[in-house]
Amino acid sequence: MNVEYIVESIELIKEAMPDSLEEFKLMGLAKDGIYKRLEFAIQALLEGLSELGRKREIIALSYSDLIRSLEEKGILPKETAEKAEFLAQLREVLIYDYDLMNDEIAFRNMEEYIEYVRELLEFLRGVEG
């Protein structure tokens, strides 16, 4: 898991986020960059969870299966698992259904997305450390 890249992505997103929804909608490629950095940060976290799963001999066909297995084995707390599942689903939209992204919802919830990334990162750091 590339911790520095995740932290850098979070900081770049925070720096780039404008003050208003109107500004966000008009950002063009810069807005796409925000979404891409969020996607990359989530992907790095999911890779960290995959690594954790391999160490615990968990075999999963999807990130959802992995998260569920980690929770069932008591490795991933329920609340953290719910946030990880949300991020995994958000990643899927960012990658495969980008046209479904709603700028208004994303603008309103970006801080929450970033907080979920931070919480999962802290969890993984605690498990690794």
**Structure tokens of 39?**
């996607």
Domain ranges of the chain: 3-128
* pTM, 2 dp: 0.93
Q: Which residues contact 69 (CB under 8 A, 6 or more apart)?
A: 53, 58, 60
Contact 25, 118 (CB under 8 A): no
Sign of CA dihedral 94, 11, 116, 76: positive
For the domain made up of 3-128, give the CATH fold.
Four Helix Bundle (Hemerythrin (Met), subunit A) (1.20.120)
Q: How do residues 31-69 score in pLDDT, each as one tens digit?
A: 999 999 999 999 999 999 999 999 999 999 999 999 999
Closest alpha carbon to 23 in 113, 79, 103: 103
Residue of 101, 82, 78 lying closest to 90 (CA atoms)? 101
| Mean pLDDT computed over 93-98 | 93
